[in-house]
A and B are shown apart, each in its own frame.
Chain A
Amino acid sequence: MPGTTSTGATAPGPRIAVVGGGMAAARFAERYTALGGPGTVTVYAAEARTPYNRVLLADVLTGRYDAEAIALPLGTARLRAGCEAVALDPVARTLGLADGTVEPWDELVLATGANPVLPPIRGLRRADVRHPAGQPHSSDRLADRSAQGPGLAEGVHTLRSLDDCARLAEEAVAARRAVVIGGGVLGVSAARALAALGVRTEIVHQAPHLIERQLDAEAGAVLRERLDALGVATYCRNRARSLATAVDGDTGAVRVTGVHLANGYLLDCDLVVLACGTRPRTALAHAAGLPVNTGVLVDDRLATAVPHVSAIGDCAEHRGAVHGLAIPAWEQADVLALRLSGADPDARYTGSRPPARLSTGGLEYAAFGDVDETLDAGLDVLRLTDATRGSYKKLVMRGDRLVGAILLGDLAGLDALADAWDRDDPLTGHPLHLLTAAGPGAPPP
C-alpha cells in the first residue's frame, strides 16, 4: 500500500521447524513465507542439497534437465541441508539432529516423505543378508540412514533421489541391458528414460497389466505396445524371484548379472531398477510416540494428535489415504501454510482426487476415478479405440455422472471431463461429444 511501511522490529515470531527437504517441505516453506507468516521457517533436509522437484527425476536421467536446474523455491526459509533429524521430543519441543545438536521449535511440520519399497527378492543386498522382517519402522530406519539404500548389490538402483539418478545415469552409459522391477508409473517412466539412453530395457510386473491401479487391461495393452515401439519389453504376471550376481574379481564387489523370474526364465542384465512403490517414512514420528498407521495420522487441519506437530506430503495419512504424489502433497502444504501463517487460521484439507497423468516421451495418458466398470452393474461404459493412432479412451458413467475415465494417446477433452468429474456435474448431450469435440482442452488441429 502506498505510504505504509512496516513499523520497526517486532517480537520474533514462532520458530517453525520443517523436517524433511522434499517437495512438501519446499512448498510449505515457500507458501508460508510468501503469505507473510510471522514465524521463521527452518527446513532440515537429510539430503545435502536444495529441495528439488522429484517429479522430474526421470527426465534428469535422460539429461533433459540438469540436476541443479530442478531446484525448488523456498521463499525466505532457512535451509539446513545435510541435517537429518534423528530424534523428536514433542514435549520439550526439540529436534535432535544427526550431528548431535538439538534445535528448539514452536511448530513442527513433518514432511519426511517416503522410501522406496524393497521387494523380497533374493540377492538384492550386497551381502545377500535377508532383510530383517517385522517392524516396518526399523526397515525404513535402515533406509533413513543411507541415501544409497540399504546395501544394494552393485548395479541395483532405486530412483527416488538425485543421488540415485546420478548413480544410475553414470552406470547407464556402459550398460547394455536393464530390468525394471515394477510396472507402475515410476517403473514405466524409468524404463522409458533408460530406453531413451539407449539401454535395452525390460519391465517385470506382477500384475496382469501395466499401471493396473490407474489403467484397465485395454489401456495397459496399448501402453505396452507403445513401450515396445520405444524398445521396452514388458513381462506382466511375472515376479522377480532372485538376482543373479557375480563377484568382481578386481574389486570384490557383488554385481548383478541378471534377474531370475518365478517362471524360471533368466533375464540377463547389468542394471536393475526397483520401482515397487514407496512407503511413508514414519520412524521419527513413531519413535516420538505420534499415532502412525501407514503414515503419520493427521486430521483436516493436517495436525497430528500432538499439539503443534503437523504432517504433510508422502509421510502423512489423511482420512485413510496416503497419496505419495506431488500434487496432493502440495495441496496439503498450501493448506498448512494458510493455517500456520495466519492467512487463514481455519484452512482445512478435505482430500485430493488428483487425476493420474503421464505426459512425457511419447507416452501420454490421463486417468481418474473408478475405471473398472465390472465392479458395479449400475455402471455404463463408453470406449473409443483407435489402433492406428494408438489411442484409447474410456468413460465410466453412472447415469449422467462421470465416475471415471481413461484417455491414452489422444487427450482431447481431458479438461472438460476432469472438471465434470471433479465437480460431479451432470454430463449433458451425448458423452461421445466430450471425447471427440474440439473445444477447450482440444489439441491444436
Chain B
Amino acid sequence: MTSAATAPAAGSDPGTAAAAGTGTGTGTGTGAETDTHCPYCALQCGMRLRPTATTAVTAATPAPAELLPVEVVERPDFPVNRGALCGKGQSAPALLARGVRLTEPLVRDRPGGPLRPAGWDEALERVAAGFTAVRERHGADAVGVFGGGGLTNEKAYQLGKFARVVLGTANIDYNGRFCMSSAAAAHRRAFGLDRGLPFPLADVPHTGCLILVGGNPAETMPPALRYFRELRENGGTLIVVDPRRTRTAEQADLHLQPRPGTDLALALGLLHLVIADGLVDEEFVAARTTGFDGARAAAMAHWPDRVERITGVPVAQLRRAAELFGRAAAGMVLTARGPEQQSKGTDTVGAWIDLCLATGNAGRPYAGYGCLTGQGNGQGGREHGQKADQLPGYRSIEDPAARAHVAGVWGVDPETLPRSGRSAYELLDGLGRPDGARALLLMGSNPVVSAPNAAHVTARLRSLDLLVVADLVLSETARLADVVLPVTQWAEEDGTTTNLEGRVILRRRAVDPPEGVRGELWLLGELARRLGVPRGFPAEAEQVFEELRRASAGGDADYAGISYRRIAAEDGVFWPCPDPAHPGTPRLFLDRFATPDGRARFAAVTHRPAAEEPDREYPLYLTTGRVLAQYQSGAQTRRVAELNAAAPGPFVELHPRLAERLGVADGEPVAVVSRRGRAVAPARVSAAIRPDTVFMPFHWPGAGRANSLTNPALDPVSRMPEFKTCAVRVERAEPAGAPAGTAHHRAAGHGPDDERTVA
C-alpha cells in the first residue's frame, strides 16, 4: 500500500480554473455537475454543484470578491429535502475561497510563539515525533484523539482505527458526545439499537400527532420543516415543547413552555394522564414491551399538580397534550438537544420513549420515537469507532466477540486493542494533568467554543505538550495548536455520511483542493507510516469504506451490503443492510425490537432537579442554542459574509418583564454571570421566552461566548454535559469603554481572541 502516492494531485487553482475532479477516479469530469450533499447538519440535504467558470455570473448572484469554483443548484430528485436548501447550504461554497480557509500547514516553534507556515513533511514529522515522545514518556494513553460528528464515516472509522492500532490509546472521543449521546443511550436502553430516526422523514406527514421536544428545526434544519407543515395539512397535530416560543413553536397547534431542565417531569406527567385517561394501548404493551409496571409507578409519582409545579406548564395544557397524543391513531415523539443536553438526558429521553410505548407508538408505520440528530454525520460518526467505548458497527469495545471481529479485520491481536477511554468532557478536562493526555490530535471540532465550561477547557488545551488540529479553517481551537494541518472539505473529497434517518449517502468530489491542502485519510496514513504502521491506512475513501463494510458486518450498524454504487443508484441506503441483496431498512422494529427478547423496554425514571438550579445569587436559568444563519461553533459559518450579516454576533434573549426589572433596553449590553464565567452580549428583549430564563446562542467565541457559562455536569450514562440549563444572574453591562462594550464586535470578527498570534 502506497498511501502517499494517492495524495491529492496538485490540481489547478480552484480560484481561477474550471472545477474538475482530476485525481480520484470518482470525479465527475470537467464541466459536469456533481450530485452531493450539504456540509452542514444531519439532514444532509441533497445538492448539486455546478462549476461556475462556465456559468455567467448573473445579477441575482453578484460576483464575489473571488470567483468561487462551484455554485449550489437544486437537486430536486433527492427525497429528503426535495430541492430545498437553507442559506447555510446555499452559501457553503464561500468556504472554498482561498482567503477564508487554510492552505498550508502551520507550526509553532515555541510555546507562546507565533504559528508559521510549514511544509507537510515538516508538520507531520513534528507530530510523529511529538506523539512518540509523549508516548514513550507517559504511556500510550497520554496521546488523546478528539474527533467530530462532521467527519465522514470513512474518516471517523479511520480515526478510531488510528487511535487503537497506531497510537494504542484508549483516549478517543468526539464532539458527538455533546450532541445526541443521551438519545443514543436511551435508544439503546429501550430498543436495543440506536438509529436517530427509526423511520424516514417522509413518514412524518402521515402520523396523527407529533410531539417535538426541545428542537427548533425552523432554524437548525429549515428544509425539514415542510414535513411538519405537511403533517398539519394532512390533519395531524404538532405539539412543540420549548422554553422559548421559537419559530418552530409558532407553527405548533400546542406549545408547552416548561422551565429548562424539566422535560423529564413533563414526559412523566403526560404518561400519567395517558394512564389516568385510559389511553394505554394494553395490547401493544402486553405483546411487545417489558417493564410497564415500573414506568407506571414512575408516572404515578408525577401527578398533574406536581408536574405543573415543577415544569410551570398548566394542568390544562398537560391534559390537552395527553389527549391529542393519546387519542391519535398514530403518534411520534422527536427529541433534540433540549431534553438531551441535561445531566439527566438519558432518563429524560427514556421517559418520552415510555410515552410512545404506553400508547403503542413504536415498531409500526407512522409511529415511534426518534432523535433529530444535529451534526452532519452525527449518526455515522457515532457508529464506527470514534466513541471511547465503541468499535465499528456500533460494537462495544468491551465485548470480546466484537474485539475479536474488528481485530481480525484490522489484522491485529485482539489483546492489543485498548479498552474504553474517557468521554469527551472528561478527556478534555484531563488534558495536561498527570493522568490525562499530554498530546492531542483534534479533528473536525472546535471545543474552545463548543465545549461546556469553555474557559476551563481552553486552559486545559493550552496545558498540552502538543496540540495538533486538523481543520479547514483556523478555528479558535486551531489557534491554540502547535501544529495545524489544513484539510479538504466537502466539495473536495469523496465520502459517505449517514443522515438522521440512518440513510447512508455519498458526498462526491466536485473540485480539486488548493495545493497544500490534504485529506484527513491521507494524513492519517502518513502519520501511521511515520509511527511505524505502514499498512492499513489508504487515502482513498472508497477503499476505506470497503474495509468499514467488513468491520461493521454483523454489528448493530451493519453496512456490509452497502456500496458506493448502491448509494448512488438508490438515493442512499438505510442501515442495517447486511448483504448486497438486502434492500436496507427504512423502518426499524416492525417485527421485533433489537433487544434479546425482541421487546422494547420501558424505563422507570424519576424527575430530579438540574445539577444547578437558580438560587438567590444566580436567580435565573440560562439555556443555550442555535440561530438560523450559524452552525455549531461557527468556525465555518462565521466566515461566510452573508451568514454573518444575518447573524453578526451573540445576544442575550430575555423577557420584557426581566428587562424592565434590570432596566435594560433592547440592544444594550448585558452581562450574564454563572459560577464558571461571564459573558457579555447585547440584550434581545422578547416575550417569546419565559421570564425566569435567558437564552444565548453558542456560536461565538470571545466575550460573548455562551459556553463560558455552561455547566459541565454530566449525565451518568451518556456523559452528556448539561448545556441546556444552569443558574445565572444578569446584569447591566457598561455600554462603552469597558471590555463588555466591545465584546460582540470582537466576537463577530475574525480577530484572534487569544494572545497567541498567527504569523
**Chain A residues at the B interface, C-beta cutoff of 8 Å:** 1-3, 26-27, 30-31, 34, 52-53, 55-56, 59, 64-65, 69-74, 326-327, 330, 334, 354-355, 357, 359, 364, 411-412, 414-416, 418-419, 423, 425-426, 428-429, 439-444
From the candidates A70, A71, A357, name the one contacting B305 in the complex (CB within 8 A): A357
Q: Do residues A443 and B317 form an inter-chain contact, with CB atoms below 8 A?
A: yes
Q: Do residues A3 and B661 form an inter-chain contact, with CB atoms below 8 A?
A: no
Q: Do residues B422 and A419 form an inter-chain contact, with CB atoms below 8 A?
A: no
Q: Do residues A71 and B421 form an inter-chain contact, with CB atoms below 8 A?
A: no
Name which residue of chain B comes closest to A74, CB basis: B297
Query: Contacts A1-B719, A73-B297 given: A59-B276 contact, CB under 8 Å?
Result: yes
Chain A nearest CB, measured from B102 CB (Å): 33
Give 20 A-B contacts (CB < 8 Å), ordered by A residue: A1-B422, A2-B421, A2-B423, A3-B170, A30-B606, A52-B300, A53-B300, A55-B305, A56-B300, A69-B275, A72-B301, A327-B309, A354-B309, A357-B305, A364-B316, A411-B315, A411-B316, A428-B661, A440-B691, A443-B317
Q: Do residues B300 and A3 form an inter-chain contact, with CB atoms below 8 A?
A: no
CA distance A442 to B300 in the complex (A): 25
Binary interface profile of B, 414-425, with partner A (CB < 8 Å = 1, else 0)? Answer: 000001111100
A354 — which chain B residues lie within 8 A by C-beta? 309
B690 — which chain A residues lie within 8 A by C-beta? 440
From the candidates B298, B316, B388, B421, name the one contacting A73 in the complex (CB within 8 A): B298
Q: Do residues A419 and B300 form an inter-chain contact, with CB atoms below 8 A?
A: no
Question: Considering the complex of A and B, which 6 residue pairs feature the smallest CB-CB distances, nearest first?
Answer: A3-B420, A2-B420, A2-B389, A415-B312, A73-B297, A359-B315
B430 — which chain A residues lie within 8 A by C-beta? none
CA distance A354 to B419 in the complex (A): 50
Name which residue of chain B comes closest to A441, CB basis: B314
A72 — which chain B residues lie within 8 A by C-beta? 297, 300-301
Asked if B758 is at the interface (CB within 8 A of a chain A CB), the reply is no
Chain A nearest CB, measured from B129 CB (Å): 29
Chain B nearest CB, measured from A397 CB (Å): 15
Among B419-457, those with CB < 8 Å from A are: 419-423, 426
CA distance A423 to B691 in the complex (A): 12
Q: Do residues A444 and B303 form an inter-chain contact, with CB atoms below 8 A?
A: no
B254 — which chain A residues lie within 8 A by C-beta? 444
Q: Do residues B320 and A444 form an inter-chain contact, with CB atoms below 8 A?
A: yes
Asked if B604 is at the interface (CB within 8 A of a chain A CB), the reply is yes
Q: Do residues A70 and B660 form an inter-chain contact, with CB atoms below 8 A?
A: no
Asked if B79 is at the interface (CB within 8 A of a chain A CB), the reply is no
Interface size class of B (residues with CB under 8 A): 35 or more
CA distance A355 to B315 in the complex (A): 14
Chain A nearest CB, measured from B656 CB (Å): 8
B420 — which chain A residues lie within 8 A by C-beta? 2-3
Chain B nearest CB, measured from A418 CB (Å): 8
A416 — which chain B residues lie within 8 A by C-beta? 657, 691
Q: Do residues B306 and A326 form an inter-chain contact, with CB atoms below 8 A?
A: yes
CA distance A2 to B399 in the complex (A): 12
Asked if B308 is at the interface (CB within 8 A of a chain A CB), the reply is yes
Among B295-328, those with CB < 8 Å from A are: 296-298, 300-301, 303-306, 308-309, 312-317, 320
A59 — which chain B residues lie within 8 A by C-beta? 276
Asked if B619 is at the interface (CB within 8 A of a chain A CB), the reply is yes
In the complex, which of the residues B312, B421, B657, B690 has the most CB atoms of chain A within 10 Å of its own CB atom? B657
A31 — which chain B residues lie within 8 A by C-beta? 606, 608
Asked if B668 is at the interface (CB within 8 A of a chain A CB), the reply is no
Chain B nearest CB, measured from A331 CB (Å): 11
CA distance A65 to B298 in the complex (A): 15
Binary interface profile of B, 679-693, with partner A (CB < 8 Å = 1, else 0)? Answer: 000000001001110
Supplied contacts A2-B388, A3-B388, A73-B301, 5 more A-B pairs, CB within 8 Å: A1-B719, A30-B606, A72-B301, A73-B298, A330-B306
Chain B nearest CB, measured from A259 CB (Å): 31
Q: Do residues A359 and B304 form an inter-chain contact, with CB atoms below 8 A?
A: yes
From the candidates A69, A73, A411, name the one contacting B294 in the complex (CB within 8 A): A73
Asked if B122 is at the interface (CB within 8 A of a chain A CB), the reply is no
Chain B nearest CB, measured from A233 CB (Å): 27
CA distance A146 to B619 in the complex (A): 48
B257 — which chain A residues lie within 8 A by C-beta? 440-441
CA distance A56 to B398 in the complex (A): 46
Name which residue of chain A comes closest to B390, CB basis: A2
Q: Do residues A2 and B687 form an inter-chain contact, with CB atoms below 8 A?
A: no
CA distance A355 to B309 in the complex (A): 9
From the candidates B275, B308, B691, name the one contacting A419 in the complex (CB within 8 A): B691
From the candidates A69, A426, A443, A444, name the one contacting B300 in the complex (CB within 8 A): A69
Q: Do residues B719 and A34 form an inter-chain contact, with CB atoms below 8 A?
A: no
Chain A nearest CB, measured from B591 CB (Å): 30
Name which residue of chain A comes closest to B254, CB basis: A444
Q: Do residues A65 and B312 form an inter-chain contact, with CB atoms below 8 A?
A: no
Chain A nearest CB, measured from B60 CB (Å): 41
Name which residue of chain A comes closest to B310, CB basis: A327
Q: Do residues A415 and B314 form an inter-chain contact, with CB atoms below 8 A?
A: yes
Name which residue of chain A comes closest to B388, CB basis: A2
Q: Do residues A428 and B300 form an inter-chain contact, with CB atoms below 8 A?
A: no
From the candidates B300, B606, B619, name the one contacting A71 in the complex (CB within 8 A): B300
Chain B nearest CB, measured from A205 CB (Å): 23
Chain A nearest CB, measured from B520 CB (Å): 24
Q: Do residues B304 and A419 form an inter-chain contact, with CB atoms below 8 A?
A: no
CA distance A12 to B257 in the complex (A): 45
B423 — which chain A residues lie within 8 A by C-beta? 1-2
Name which residue of chain B comes closest to A355, CB basis: B309
CA distance A3 to B169 in the complex (A): 13
Q: Do residues B389 and A359 form an inter-chain contact, with CB atoms below 8 A?
A: no
From the candidates A52, A53, A65, A73, name the one contacting B606 in the complex (CB within 8 A): A73
Q: Do residues A443 and B314 form an inter-chain contact, with CB atoms below 8 A?
A: yes
CA distance A91 to B268 in the complex (A): 42
Chain B nearest CB, measured from A10 CB (Å): 19
CA distance A416 to B303 in the complex (A): 20
Chain A nearest CB, measured from B429 CB (Å): 13
Chain A nearest CB, measured from B418 CB (Å): 9
Chain B nearest CB, measured from A428 CB (Å): 5
Chain B nearest CB, measured from A49 CB (Å): 13
CA distance A423 to B618 in the complex (A): 12
CA distance A74 to B294 in the complex (A): 9
In the complex, which of the residues A27, A30, A411, A444 has the most CB atoms of chain B within 10 Å of its own CB atom? A444
From the candidates B170, B300, B606, B619, name the one contacting A70 in the complex (CB within 8 A): B300
CA distance A429 to B656 in the complex (A): 10
A327 — which chain B residues lie within 8 A by C-beta? 305-306, 309
Q: Do residues A429 and B660 form an inter-chain contact, with CB atoms below 8 A?
A: yes
Chain B nearest CB, measured from A242 CB (Å): 36
Chain B nearest CB, measured from A358 CB (Å): 8
Chain B nearest CB, measured from A440 CB (Å): 5
Q: Do residues A428 and B660 form an inter-chain contact, with CB atoms below 8 A?
A: yes
Q: Do residues B300 and A423 form an inter-chain contact, with CB atoms below 8 A?
A: no
Query: Contacts A2-B420, A419-B692 given: A359-B300 contact, CB under 8 Å?
Result: no
Name which residue of chain B comes closest to A413, CB basis: B314
Q: Do residues B276 and A411 form an inter-chain contact, with CB atoms below 8 A?
A: no
Among B14-70, those with CB < 8 Å from A are: none
CA distance A75 to B608 in the complex (A): 14
Q: Do residues B312 and A3 form an inter-chain contact, with CB atoms below 8 A?
A: no
Query: Contacts A3-B170, A55-B303 given: A428-B315 contact, CB under 8 Å?
Result: no
A418 — which chain B residues lie within 8 A by C-beta? 309
Binary interface profile of B, 378-420, with partner A (CB < 8 Å = 1, else 0)? Answer: 0000000000110000000110000000000000000000011
Name which residue of chain A comes closest to B620, CB basis: A423
Query: Contacts A2-B388, A56-B303 given: A73-B312 contact, CB under 8 Å?
Result: no
In the complex, which of the residues A1, A56, A74, A418 has the most CB atoms of chain B within 10 Å of its own CB atom? A1
Name which residue of chain A comes closest to B315, CB basis: A359
B619 — which chain A residues lie within 8 A by C-beta? 423
A425 — which chain B residues lie within 8 A by C-beta? 661
B293 — which chain A residues lie within 8 A by C-beta? 71
CA distance A86 to B118 in the complex (A): 83
B276 — which chain A residues lie within 8 A by C-beta? 59, 64-65
B304 — which chain A residues lie within 8 A by C-beta? 359
In the complex, which of the residues B298, B419, B691, B719 has the most CB atoms of chain A within 10 Å of its own CB atom? B691
